[in-house]
Amino acid sequence: MRVVVPYRVRDPKTRLAPVLDPEERVAFSRAMLDDVLAAVWGAGRVPEVLATEPLDADLPDPVAVDARPLTDAVNAVLDAAGEPVAVVAADLALATPAALARLFDAAGEVVLAPGRGGGTNALLARHPQFRVDYHGASYRDHLSACETIGAHPVTVDSYRLGTDVDEPADLVEVLLHGEGVAGEWLRDRGFVLAVDGGRVGVRREGE
Ligand X SMILES: Nc1nc2c(ncn2[C@@H]2O[C@H](COP(=O)(O)OP(=O)(O)OP(=O)(O)O)[C@@H](O)[C@H]2O)c(=O)[nH]1
Ligand Y SMILES: C[C@H](OP(=O)(O)O)C(=O)O
The upper half-sphere exposure of residue 169, i.e. CA atoms within 13 Å in the direction of its Cβ, equals 3
**Torsional class of 82: left (φ above 0), alpha (ψ -120 to 50), beta (otherwise):** left
The strand pair at 199-204 and 191-196 is best described as antiparallel
Q: In this chain, which of 10, 15, 116, 203 binds ligand X, going by CB under 6 A?
A: 15
Q: In this chain, which of 73, 113, 151, 181 binds ligand X, going by CB under 6 A?
A: 73
Closer Cβ to ligand X, 2 or 13, answer by number: 13
Residues 88-107 that bind ligand Y (CB under 6 A): 89
Q: How far apart are CA 111 and CA 8, in angstroms?
A: 23
Residue 12's nearest CA partner among 59, 41, 51 is: 51
C-alpha distances (whole Å) from 52 to each of 9, 12, 68 are 6, 11, 7
The answer to whether 166 contacts ligand X (rule: CB under 6 A) is: yes
Q: In this chain, which of 104, 130, 134, 191 binds ligand Y, going by CB under 6 A?
A: 134
The answer to whether 135 contacts ligand Y (rule: CB under 6 A) is: yes
Closer Cβ to ligand Y, 34 or 170, answer by number: 170
138 binds, among ligand X, ligand Y, none (CB under 5 to 8 A by kind): ligand Y
The strand pair at 120-125 and 85-88 is best described as antiparallel
Q: In this chain, which of 22, 44, 62, 69 binds ligand X, going by CB under 6 A?
A: 69
Q: How far apart are CA 194 and CA 201, in angstroms?
A: 5
In whole angstroms, the minimum distance from the beta carbon of 103 to ligand X comes to 16
Residue nearest to ligand Y (CB): 119
In whole angstroms, the minimum distance from the beta carbon of 167 to ligand Y comes to 9
The answer to whether 50 contacts ligand X (rule: CB under 6 A) is: yes
